[in-house]
Homo-oligomer: A and B are copies of this chain.
C-alpha cells in the first residue's frame, strides 16, 4: 500500500511512542511527538484505521496493526540507513543527519534501499547507536545500560545515545565523547546524580545526571 508522507510519519510516531511506553499511544502523545494539534491527530487516526493500519477506538489510545508495524519498521530502516550513508559516505557529523534523513526516509523504492544497504555493508546500527531493522523488520538487540545506572569503578563502551537533539550531540562532540568511547565511572554524587568519569583511560570529566541518563553503555 502506498502511503503519504504524513501517514508514514504518524505510523512512525505511534511506533516510537508505543515502543517507549510499552502501551497504546494517546492522541496527545502523538500530537506532541509530531508538533501538531490533537484535532489533526484524531483526523488522521480515523484515516489510518480506515486503511487497517491501526487499532483505534474513540477515547482509547491506538496501537499498530501488523501492516502498520511493517510500515513503521521499514520507515525506521530507511531513516537509519540514510543516516549511515550521510555519516560514513558523505562525512556528515552525527548531529547533522537527522533532518535530512527525515526527508530521505520517504523516498519510495525497495530496490534503492536494498542497494543502499549493500553499499553500506549491511550496517546493524546507525550513527547514534540505534539498531537498523533488516529487510524483514528484525532489530538486533544488544544489552546496554544508561550510564546513570552504573556504579563507581564500572566500565564500558558508549554504544548509543537516548537524546538525539543537535544540542546534546554537539555537547558530546565538545567533550570528545563519541560512540566507541570507553567510559569508567570514577565517582558518582548521590546528592544530584552527577558523575565524574574517565574517557578512554585518558582524561576525567564531570557530567550531570541528565547527561548520564542519555548515554547508553555496553558494560565490559
Contact = CB atoms under 8 A, between A and B. Distances in A.
- Which secondary structure dominates chain A's binding surface? helix
A111 B96 contact: yes
Interface string A107-120: 11101100110010
A103 B108 contact: yes
Interface size class of A (residues with CB under 8 A): 10 to 19
A86 B115 CA distance: 9
Interface string A169-200: 00000000000000000000000000000000
A21 interface: no
Interface in A62-94: 86, 89-92
A107 B104 contact: yes
Given A90-B116, A103-B108, 8 more contacts: A90-B115, A90-B119, A91-B115, A92-B115, A99-B109, A100-B112, A103-B107, A104-B107
Interface of A: 86, 89-92, 96, 99-100, 103-104, 107-109, 111-112, 115-116, 119
